[in-house]
Amino acid sequence: MHTRLLRTASFGLFLLGLTTIAQAQPSMDPDGRFSGGQTTRRYEFFGGESYVGAIPRTTVPAPGSYKPGTIVVNTAERRLYLIQDGGTALKYGIGVGRVGFTWAGTTKVVAKKEWPDWTPPSQMLRRRPDLPRFMKGGPENPLGARAMYLGASLYRIHGSNEPETIGQAVSSGCFRLLNDDVIDLYGRVKVGAPVIVLR
């Protein structure tokens, strides 16, 4: 009886140790440059979930001499920078347009919406007639928790309910962030903010 109890306790400690090691294991690709930021959903031993390989939001030196409040999207790098005071920027991992859907230019944020509704544009419906014609805002909506609309274009910076697509080239030209990141960005960005998209 005592031996069986000891074995059970030892096995429990072994599992706890594995969980701790897995969480403490340093990544060989901390900002997702080699994996493209591919995330994998992991279910934790004691409940809940996390995303392995998620691109962390970080403060970095500003990538150029842009005015504070400017958003700079680097499509090739799959990163979005919000320029701050003091020569720094907040860097976010993003999903970008797939081949044939990337673009570059200068625009601005013309509107912001929380839990936006989604009406797929006609161009998208021609490519994907299976899509719904309208989808009410909410956790299942592909625009995620927040959206910032860019100029007169069909493009947006928005959240995503598909975290595994962050760091990937899968969209029809919009820029998608983790919902936590888009909520953070949304709170910092003003309508009228310049947006510079680089290839």
pTM, full prediction: 0.74
Q: How far, CA to CA in Å, does 64 sit from each of 28, 55, 82, 101, 196?
A: 27, 22, 12, 25, 12
Catalytic residues: 158, 174
Phi, psi torsion values for 104, nearest 5 degrees: -140, 155
Structural domains of the chain, count: 1
Domain interval for residue 131 = 58-198
Q: Is residue 182 part of a domain?
A: yes
Q: Is residue 14 part of a domain?
A: no
CB 108 within 8 A of CB 193: yes
User: Bridge-partner residues for 105, per DSSP?
Assistant: 197
Model confidence over 52-76: pLDDT tens digits?
A: 456 899 999 999 999 999 999 999 9
Confidence label for 2 from pLDDT (cuts 50, 70 and 90): low
pLDDT for the residue 58: 97
Q: Is residue 43 part of a domain?
A: no
Region of 24 (left: φ > 0; alpha: ψ -120 to 50; beta: rest) is: alpha
Higher-pLDDT residue of 142, 39? 142
Model confidence over 120-163: pLDDT tens digits?
A: 888 888 989 998 889 999 999 999 999 999 999 889 999 998 99
Q: Is residue 8 part of a domain?
A: no
CATH number for the domain that contains residue 111? 2.40.440.10
Average pLDDT value over all residues in the chain: 81
Q: Is residue 147 part of a domain?
A: yes
d(CA 78, CA 86): 24
